[in-house]
Amino acid sequence: MLRDDVLLLLTEAEGYVSGEEMREKLGVTRAAVSQAVRALRAAGYDIDAVTNRGYCLRARPDTLTAGDVLPYLPQARRALVQCFAQIDSTNSYLKVEAMSGAPDGLCAIADRQTAGRGRAGRSFRSDAGQGVYLSMLLRPACAATAAMTVTAHVAVAVCRALERCGVQPGIKWTNDLVLGTKKICGILTELTVEAESGTVDSIVAGIGVNVRQRPEDFPEELRAIAGSVYSETGLELSRARLAAEMVRALDEMYLDWQRDPRAYLSDYRARCATVGCPVRVVRGEDVRTGFAEAVDDDFALVVRWEDGTRETVTGGDVSVRGLFGYLD
């Protein structure tokens, strides 16, 4: 899209860049460049124009176009990052792309999802201008059993991305990120396995981070449990920068995880906000309360029940809920 290409040039320029230079680099007419600049201004970008000097980007809105996100990423990474103003679900999109042979590392980033999904078929609210909704396609050469630790690694990677932006979240076992007792991020990892070989065909790691929501932006029934970076810290993060940091952190994680499926175990334990807290474990109609003692070497939660016995709780068959006001 020409508008994104012009924005990318304006972002990367040190000061002014002439319309003629942009025309030559993009292979379009000067009129097309001028039209793209007008479109950017209409979208809220403050672009200065000076005769014989060209254009200079002074300020920008908090948007998630390719022109906003890609400047934060290395040139070699940009071709596999796609940005959408609106999509049904970034996970659903990449699952379809995977079936068509899409490459390892393809990322989809959306400003809004119309059918965002969480675990157990729950909907994930994904309003425009509020969060970062990002999915990455992974194609590791491994058995399905070896992929069971990837979700925990994704959680650590997203924590690292937020930390680079000045935010210190915790991990609520197994894969929600929290600030205090409010959930600010959900992660949905979907695995496709080849039936005959039992090897992984693809993994789609989907992440939704609440960035700019105010308490009144959440439905009343969620206000006690859902929050955002802004509502919990007062920080007004650049969503474009956060999206790029998430891509960087996920790329780093993917390399580390392929070398060692427990590479982030110590980091996960250090960030896990569930350990040391009373918990409620729900299995269908069965509800038990206990105390979260530790995360074991397979990222499972070790729970001491009220009768003193212990059990290792694994993800996928239970929900763990804190008794301190946070419910997933």
CATH number at residue 295: 2.30.30.100
Query: Rounded distance, CA 162 to CA 157, Å?
Result: 9
Domain of 90?
66-271
What local confidence, expressed as pLDDT, does residue 211 receive? 97
Q: Are residues 149 and 284 in the same domain?
A: no
HSE-up of 222 (CA within 13 Å, CB side)? 16
Instruction: List Cβ neighbours of 274 (8 Å cut-off, separation of 6 or more).
Output: 171, 172, 173, 292, 301, 320, 322
What local confidence, expressed as pLDDT, does residue 116 receive? 82
**pLDDT (tens digit, 0 to 9) for every residue of the chain, 328 residues total?**
899 999 999 999 989 999 999 999 999 999 999 999 999 999 999 999 999 999 999 999 999 999 999 999 999 999 999 999 999 999 999 999 999 999 999 999 999 999 887 766 676 778 899 999 999 999 998 988 889 999 999 999 999 999 999 999 999 998 899 998 899 999 999 999 988 888 999 999 999 999 999 999 998 888 888 999 999 999 999 999 999 999 999 999 999 999 999 999 999 999 999 999 888 888 778 888 899 999 999 999 999 999 999 999 986 555 666 544 544 4
What local confidence, expressed as pLDDT, does residue 321 receive? 61
Give the other-Cβ count within 10 Å of 304's Cβ: 15
In the chain, where do the E strands start and end?
46-50, 54-59, 81-84, 107-110, 131-138, 170-172, 176-179, 182-193, 200-210, 278-283, 286-295, 301-305, 310-313, 319-322
99 part of a folded domain: yes
Query: Rounded distance, CA 140 to CA 250, Å?
Result: 14
Q: Are residues 165 and 307 in the same domain?
A: no
211 part of a folded domain: yes
What local confidence, expressed as pLDDT, does residue 319 receive? 62
Q: Is 142 exposed, middle or buried (0-12, 13-18, 19+ CB in 10 A)?
A: middle
CATH number at residue 104: 3.30.930.10
Number of domains the chain contains: 3
Domain end, chosen from 17, 34, 59, is at: 59
What local confidence, expressed as pLDDT, does residue 74 receive? 95
What local confidence, expressed as pLDDT, does residue 285 receive? 80
Give the other-Cβ count within 10 Å of 179's Cβ: 21
Q: Are residues 168 and 296 in the same domain?
A: no
Tell me if 301 sits within 8 A of 320, measured CB to CB. yes
What local confidence, expressed as pLDDT, does residue 236 receive? 95
